[in-house]
Structure 1
Amino acid sequence: MTKAAEIEIASVSKVYGTTTAVHAISLKIPAGSYCCLLGPSGCGKTSTLRMIAGHESVSSGDILLGNKDVTDLPPAARGTAMMFQSYALFPHLDLVDNVAFSLKMKGVDKETRRAKALDMLKLMQLEPYANRRPAQLSGGQQQRVALARALITDPEALLLDEPLSALDPFLKIRMRAELKKLQTALGITFVHVTHSQEEAMALADLIVVMNDGRIEQAAPPRTVFERPATAFVARFMGDHNVISGRVTASTASDTLLSVPSGGDFWAPASDTPEGDLADIAIRTDRVRMGAAAEAGLGFTGTISNVEYRGSSVKLVATGAGIEEFTAILSDTMFFDRPVKVGEAIELSWNREDVIVLGRSH
């Protein structure tokens, strides 16, 4: 296999007519890492992937693969391979010819390309099906054929556009494990577009959260989850309560955040000046039932929803100017003191569990 390449995106924009899909983003994807571009539909993640692949032109900025500027190169000359969402397999060709297709286009002789295609099918554990057509395969097998076809060119980076979206939930989880294993075995750079937080958390070394054509945060999964950079990231990753308000007091160690016509909440010191808007987050699994040890670290709310989830129970409450505040409690904690919709409840958290969020652009 060829070596992996670092991918560098330097102030890259994509403009369609009067619409800017990607706003001058800069990003370094380390060689040999698994990177997930994560975000809602229309956030610019697929446009970014297609610009790396060369399937979309760059409106401004540069794309470097290794030390090579590939901004204006055609896809075949970049050292990348793309795996499309639809797999795009040829229905009339058997698996060997499907996988060997790009080598045929490059003029590689029949014997050499078929031998290499068989090696790739072996890697994907599809050798017994070599003479079948795509229609005779399951979704997961078709996906592995598409992967084999992308990898036969020995790319330095594999680009995957929502590769798991067509699969059923159980197969998704199995294919996720296979993708990770494959990337580790090959050691090449993978860039994978997804709108699934769970998928990104399970696969990536580097998660790049995109919103409205901009990068909100690029960091390892644990950092994105434990220290979301902005309210958008905290909300999009889920499992975080975001409280928005105005800074009404600050000391060297603390900031007081006041929610419009609601409660006051303490947070660690931030550089937001008094009077300005600010956001804080508290993870849903760090919230407990019961009064706060000190003021500003909890509130009294009314239960609006209770969901039993087996090992945990999800409570949603409203109060103190907060429309929806979620607590995930262990089943034992909840059933020690069960509550119903409509009941008043005290919710609280520890000072160290309050995260100060940055503001989006």
Structure 2
Amino acid sequence: MTKAAEIELIEVTKRYGPALAVDAVSLKIPAGTYCCLLGPSGCGKTTTLRMIAGHESVSSGDIRLGPAVVTDLAPAKRGTAMMFQSYALFPHLDIVDNVAFSLKMAGVAKPARRGRAMEMLKLVQMDHLAERRPAQLSGGQQQRVALARALITDPQVLLLDEPLSALDPFLKIKVRQELKKLQLQLGISFIHVTHSQEEAMALSDLVVVMNGGRIEQAAAPREVFNRPSTAFVARFMGDHNVLAGRVSRVAEGNATFEVPGGASFTVPDTEGLEAGAPVEIAVRTDRIRLGDGAAPGCGLTGLVQNIEYHGQKVQVALAAPGVDEFAVQVPETAFFAAPLAIGDAVPLAWTAQDVHLLKPSPAA
């Protein structure tokens, strides 16, 4: 197996005429990392992946794989392999020949390429179905074949474009476990495009959250979840409430800010805030207490708008003056010990330690 290599994007930009799809993205992905590019449709994640693969040209900037600049190299000469969202298997070939196809194009003799294809099929636990045609396989089995076909070129980096999107929920969990196991076994970097927060959190060592063609945050999954950089990341990752307003007072290491409805809140002043400055904070939905007394600036009274039972937890949606949407996750046993109904007014509280100050979005 080829030695894993670091991959680096340096001010990489992609334009389609006047439209800016990827805007000066810089990113380092250490060798042997499982990296997920995460974001909504149209954020630039797939375009970024395709530029790394060489299937899209770079308008400006550079892409490095190890010490080599690969920006202008053909896909086959980069040391990367790409697994597409549509598996694109040849229906008239058996599974072995599908996997061996790139080696056939490279002029490798039939016995050698089929032997290597069988090694790859064994790696993805598909060697027992080697004689079948793609139409005789399930979606999950076809995905494994496509994975073996990508890996047969011995890449330094494997690129995956929403590889789990066509699978049912139960199969997704099984296949993502296999993907992570395989990445650890191979020791190379996987760069995986997804719009699923759950998928990114479960798989990655590095989560890259994109928005409007830019990177909002690139960090370990736990860092992204617990300390989102921007309001976009906090909202996109979910399980955070975002409160936005303007600073009215700064004193004793804290800043007080007011939201349009007149309510005021407190945030630790870690950024040297000044009166009049815009400010946004995030508070995790599972850190909020219902019906509990709050310290000044660390609570509000909300009107229950919706209640959803999620098994281990109950999601309560509330509205308050100047706060259109506010969510609280309550453990199931705690909720049903003191159940709420739509229309109830409920005091909410959190601690100053649970407040996270957000930065302006780079894509704003």
Query: Same fold judged by TM-score > 0.5?
Result: yes
> What count of residue pairs does the alignment treat as equivalent?
361
- Deviation (angstroms), 1:271: 2.9
What TM-score does the superposition give when structure 1 sets the normalisation length? 0.99
Name the Cα RMSD after superposition: 0.8
SS at match of 1:122: helix
Query: What CA distance in whole angstroms lies between the structure 2 residues aligned with 1:161 and 1:32?
Result: 18
Partner of 1:28: 28
Alignment of 1:259-274 (within 5 A): 259-269=259-269, 270-274=271-275
Query: What CA distance in whole angstroms lies between the structure 2 residues aligned with 1:205 and 1:50?
Result: 21
Partner of 1:303: 304
The letter of the residue matching 1:241 is N
Partner of 1:328: 329
Alignment of 1:162-201 (within 5 A): 162-201=162-201
Q: Mean Cα displacement is larger for which, 147-156 or 252-261?
A: 252-261
What TM-score does the superposition give when structure 2 sets the normalisation length? 0.98
Q: Which residues of structure 2 form unaligned runs of 5+?
A: none
Contact 1:4 1:187 in 2 (8 A): yes
Contact 1:87 1:142 in 2 (8 A): yes
Listed one character per residue, the Cα deviations across residues 70-117 of structure 1 (whole Å, up to 9, x for unaligned) are: 000000000000000001111110000000000011111111000000
Query: What CA distance in whole angstroms lies between the structure 1 residues aligned with 2:332 and 2:145?
Result: 44
The share of aligned pairs that are identical, in percent, is 65
Partner of 2:85: 85
Contact 1:292 1:349 in 2 (8 A): no
Alignment of 1:1-361 (within 5 A): 1-269=1-269, 270-361=271-362
Q: Which residues of structure 1 form unaligned runs of 5+?
A: none
Query: What CA distance in whole angstroms lies between the structure 1 residues aligned with 2:41 and 2:264?
Result: 35
Q: Which runs of 4+ in 1 moved over 2 A?
A: 270-273
Listed one character per residue, the Cα deviations across residues 292-318 of structure 1 (whole Å, up to 9, x for unaligned) are: 331211011110011122221111111
- Deviation (angstroms), 1:321: 1.1
Q: Mean Cα displacement is larger for which, 257-266 or 134-143?
A: 257-266
The letter of the residue matching 2:26 is S
Query: What CA distance in whole angstroms lies between the structure 2 residues aligned with 1:252 and 1:59?
Result: 49
SS at match of 1:209: strand
Query: What CA distance in whole angstroms lies between the structure 2 residues aligned with 1:341 and 1:80?
Result: 54
Contact 1:161 1:194 in 2 (8 A): yes
Query: What CA distance in whole angstroms lies between the structure 2 residues aligned with 1:242 and 1:308?
Result: 22
The letter of the residue matching 1:340 is A
